[in-house]
Amino acid sequence: MKTLFQNGTVINASGRQKADLLVSDGKITQIGQGIEATADMQVIDCTDLLVLPGAVDAHTHFETQILVGTDNVPYKSADDFHAGTRAAACGGVTTVIDFVTPLKGESLTAALDKRKAEAAKACIDYSLHMCLTEINDDRLGEMRAVVDAGVSSFKVFMTYAIRLTDDEFLRALRRSKELGTVIMVHAEAHDELEKNRADFIAQGLTDPWYHYLSRPESVETKGVERAIELAAIADAPLYIVHLACEGGLRAVEKAKKAGQIIYAETCPQYLHFTSDVYKRPDAANFVCSPPIKGEKSREALWQGIKNGSIDTIATDHCPFNLAEKALGKDDFTKIPNGVMGTENFYPYMLSEANKGRISYERVVELCSEKPAEIFKLSPNKGSLTLGADADIVIYDPSKEFVISQENTHSACDYTIWEGVALKGYPIQTYSKGKLVTGGRGFVI
Ligand code: URP
Ligand code: ZN
Ligand code: ZN
């Protein structure tokens, strides 16, 4: 089946052109002006519309169990791979990269197989990062087999029950370097934040504002600085997930200037909200780690987006239902951490471009081209070029959209984005040439 996208403005990170785009058998086979429509083609009129590469959300946590509090209460994130990718696709995401989180004692390859079975419900393309939840000779040895199975990135945590010590982190960086992969890191100073949490709870300071105060800017900055130091010792590339603070950004900028290969990812929740959300009646719904920081950090992150210090935007989509969030109303340490975002992130960033804050090309670079490149999905993903997968979003810059739980598609029973008004919205999403959302109602 062939589809001809006629008369649109095709946007890549490298620039834009008024062009037609032809898709055959799920691939882009022609881009140019005046491509003739023939009887075997479905024609999509894209006049006054933008034709964009689908977004690559490189940080989701679908059907993921997390352990909360000192007694490690298990919670599962609200979206499974079907609901999560349905929501993602409705917002113009055509690839998600989720995580395999092996149990301690479990082999990486066994955990990968289990995760692939769960991910089979996805309605768009997916890939997986492998978390390293323990380091020993067996796990380091198995990393090769995981790479051979198509994984290009490993993730470590500096906090939570699955954190690594600095020595273990260093071993992981060295092994990753040997394998030509990249280590991703959740960077926060664990000992300091744990002490803060215990001190606040002991003083009866239990509401979500103390979630923020227990993990303030300095806690994240110290984590990021240490992670960068370890990457320098190992001379290995490092990808910092969900960067949320100015101090961390400065450390990234300094390391990049010194020639280190450091990638920084931030998320829309850190670009739109500030720590003031932790004073709202629904503060628990915004509890995520690292927490959303103050206005100075928000501004710095936007600056980092404009000047190139930030490489990617992803979502860290990990929502929990209201009743679960409410279980921590008398103790912030009992609130499951995580917020939603996969359906809103591309529309939010594109809306900011539409309002003139950055260019559409830069949004495509941050949300599609760069993550595809870093996680070795290009040239199939990340750009609309000859031979690439036809992962295409048709975007209407004139469509007004107010985000609500009712007009979005996550299985979660609220959204922190409720009431946020966007200028422009994706109206169709194609995965390898197949319409997955849009047109006459949602297809999936
Ligand atoms: O609060 C968050 N971010 N939850 C998801 C797990 C993580 O740390 O990325
Ligand atoms: Zn994290
Ligand atoms: Zn995460």
For 168-180, the pLDDT digits (tens) are: 999 999 999 999 9
Predicted confidence at residue 441, as pLDDT, reads 45
How confident is residue 50, by pLDDT bands cut at 50, 70 and 90? very high
Distance 61 CA to ligand 1 centre (A): 8
Of 303, 311, 268, the C-alpha closest to 415 is 268
Report the percent of the chain where pLDDT is more than 70: 99
For 188-214, the pLDDT digits (tens) are: 999 999 999 999 999 999 999 999 999
Report the percent of the chain where pLDDT is more than 90: 96
Ligand 1: residue whose CA is nearest its atom 2: 338
Ligand 1: residue whose CA is nearest its atom 4: 338
Could you give the angle at which helices 217-234 and 246-257 cross, rounded to 10 degrees? 20
Distance 333 CA to ligand 1 centre (A): 14
pLDDT of 440 higher than 60: no
For the Cβ of 374 lying below 6 angstroms from any atom of ligand 1, the answer is no
**Ligand 1 pocket test, candidate residues 75, 242, 273, most atoms within 8 A of CB:** 242
pLDDT of 70 higher than 90: no
Question: Which residue pairs from 69-77 have beta carbons closer than 8 angstroms and sit at least 24 positions apart in sequence?
Answer: 69/331, 69/333, 69/334, 70/333, 72/161, 73/334, 75/320, 75/324, 75/336, 77/318, 77/319, 77/320, 77/338
For 18-32, the pLDDT digits (tens) are: 999 999 999 999 999
For the Cβ of 182 lying below 6 angstroms from any atom of ligand 1, the answer is no
Mean pLDDT of the chain: 97
For 319-372, the pLDDT digits (tens) are: 999 999 999 989 999 999 999 999 999 999 999 999 999 999 999 999 999 999
Predicted confidence at residue 436, as pLDDT, reads 95
Predicted confidence at residue 443, as pLDDT, reads 54
| Ligand nearest to the CA of residue 64, numbered in listed order | 1
Distance 182 CA to ligand 3 centre (A): 16
